Homo-oligomer: A and B are copies of this chain.
């Protein structure tokens, strides 16, 4: 399904793999500061923080999968099928459609702390964008350079969890994912000491044996463990190039290759795109399944004081550099 992660060097980075069997037609979309957002709670925001993210633009409206704002706050929505539960209108709540959550938060909040306040009174509506689009069942990861949380709207209410791992995948609910990490506490990037038996002269036949037991399949709980281990032990220089490169390597660790996750009717879930946002500088980097070169859109290279959205198509064709 999907994997999201945060990463911090000199700047703060945030991104995700979007894994699915087909694309709605995704674009990199900047919502300029004066592009008006209207929400289901009746509120219209005429002026707001600028946003950049990946979205499917439907009837002129950017349905964001993941986005950051110019203050360095980031959100991604990830599938949470079978556990997500949205509600009818509740008069004493902030009633926001599921597809509005990302702009609702990013347009006005500068950081996770402000977002948490705003989320406290949230009621997510079970209202699809239109009759042709299914109501996506999602949960969210929100992060800034100093904090990360997970938001899950379930049948027993809205949960806001601190997310010390800084990663998110899909099912099961977040407390189960975090609990499961306990089972991997003895894994390490270092070579392990022999504690099996002093009587046996066991051979350290390979580098990397300290993480034996780390799962490598593509199910959501296994990807959570694998990407948490990879991200939390990740080391890179703190330049923009080294940070961005390392972030995409982290996402490679849980990439879905065509053929390895088979659905019905010979369809296959693959990593449609991988993204890495420099939240500090407002740059959206991405690769697609068929284009390994990193492409980038920098929000600050545009006039953000407009009242429109600016759209960039995904570059999906492989860009090979021929040296001869």
Contacts from A to B (Cβ < 8 Å)? 1, 28, 82, 164-165, 170-172, 176, 179, 181-197, 199-222, 225-226, 228-230, 232-236, 241-242, 244-246, 248-250, 252-253, 255-263, 268-269, 285, 287, 289-298, 301-302, 312, 315, 317-324
Given contacts A192-B186, A259-B234, contact A206 B318 (CB under 8 A): no
A219 to B215, Cβ gap below 8 A?
no
A253 to B255, Cβ gap below 8 A?
yes
Chain B residues with CB under 8 Å of A28's CB are: 323
Copies in the complex: 4
The answer for the CA separation of A73 and B306 in the assembled complex, in Å, is 58
Q: Among the listed B217, B285, B291, which residue makes an inter-chain contact with A213, where contact means beta carbons less than 8 Å apart? A: B217
Chain B residues with CB under 8 Å of A170's CB are: 206
Chain B residues with CB under 8 Å of A293's CB are: 292-294, 319-321
Q: Among the listed B195, B296, B321, which residue makes an inter-chain contact with A323, where contact means beta carbons less than 8 Å apart? A: B296
User: What's the nearest-Cβ distance from chain B to residue A261, in Å?
Assistant: 4
The answer for the CA separation of A319 and B170 in the assembled complex, in Å, is 32
A220 to B205, Cβ gap below 8 A?
yes
The answer for the CA separation of A200 and B208 in the assembled complex, in Å, is 21
Chain B residues with CB under 8 Å of A205's CB are: 82, 171-172, 179, 182, 220-221
The answer for the CA separation of A291 and B294 in the assembled complex, in Å, is 9
The answer for the CA separation of A293 and B291 in the assembled complex, in Å, is 8
Chain B residues with CB under 8 Å of A322's CB are: 295-298
| 22 CB-based A-B contacts, threshold 8 Å | A170-B206, A179-B203, A183-B209, A183-B212, A186-B194, A187-B195, A197-B229, A208-B217, A211-B260, A214-B222, A216-B225, A216-B253, A235-B258, A235-B259, A249-B258, A285-B320, A293-B294, A293-B321, A294-B318, A295-B321, A312-B324, A315-B323
Given contacts A206-B221, A216-B222, contact A197 B246 (CB under 8 A): no
Chain B residues with CB under 8 Å of A296's CB are: 320-323
User: What's the nearest-Cβ distance from chain B to residue A306, in Å?
Assistant: 14
Instruction: A186-B196, A188-B196 given; name 6 further pairs at CB < 8 Å.
Output: A1-B206, A182-B204, A210-B217, A253-B255, A293-B320, A297-B322
